Amino acid sequence: MSKLILLRHGQSLWNAANKFTGWVDVPLSERGRAEATIASCKLRDAGYKIDVCFTSMLIRAIETAIVCMTECDEIRGGKIPIIQHATDDPNWHGWNKYEGDPAQEIPICPSALLDERYYGALQGLNKAEMAEKYGAEQVRIWRRSYSEKPPGGESLEDTAKRTIPFFHDRIMTHLKKGENVLVAAHGNSLRSIIMDLDQLTPEEVPLLELATGVPIVYEIDAEGQVINKITLDT
């Protein structure tokens, strides 16, 4: 039985400032790094070990993955996390073609397909101020609905069109082999994956809220079916 661990990144500096972030590359706050540390300890205490990690390309998700993976040796079996960049990226001078040593290393694989929803014209704006300008209900719809797009941005439906195929093509492959996978990503990219795993309808998904830094663990069988779900929020 493999484990899929979904982890929304820790609080970012723009989360703390109540701003729409989207694709703006904002780092974690001090609290966010602490949340990633606590998540690592929760996974250690629950006895989980990680074989491979996927993140978005945004620093807040990568920071969360690195803090989580390095804080407690037990969850990585003493292996060294290695960020495995895409082999078609010309900026890595060939280093990204390093195949790694599975006996001593754990790959962390960033992908833009796991990036947060693009919030378009709302990025960098204060959520409370936008609620005053457009109404709280409109802002709630932009943030939580399935098909409604913020001005110039993506809907959750748009986000799902990139996250779910990536999940089934890349992440599920490891799960079906019996490997434990950590996915450190974002509220909306993870909401879309959870919508698929839990078979939620577009009417049910607005009720789905993910806290920062709280691991959600799925037990997955060899056919890729969900057997159990646990939230490590205590």
Mapping DSSP onto H, E and C, the string for 78-117 reads CCEEEECCCCCCHHHCCHHHCCCCCCCEEEEEECHHHCCC
> What residue has token string 């920071």?
63
Question: Choosing from 9, 35, 154, 174, which is the catalytic residue?
Answer: 9
Distances (CA, A) of 48 to 32, 169, 171, 180: 21, 24, 17, 8
**Terminal CA-CA length for the chain:** 23
Q: Rounded CA gap, 181 and 111, in Å? A: 15
To the query of whether residue 9 is one of the catalytic residues in this protein, the response is yes
DSSP, collapsed to helix, strand or coil, labels residue 146 as coil
Distance CA(7)–CA(60), nearest Å, equals 12
Active site residue 85: no
In DSSP terms, 106 is beta-bridged to: 81
Which of 35, 63, 71, 116 does the annotation list as catalytic? 116
CB neighbours of residue 62 within 10 Å: 21
Catalytic annotation, residues: 9, 116
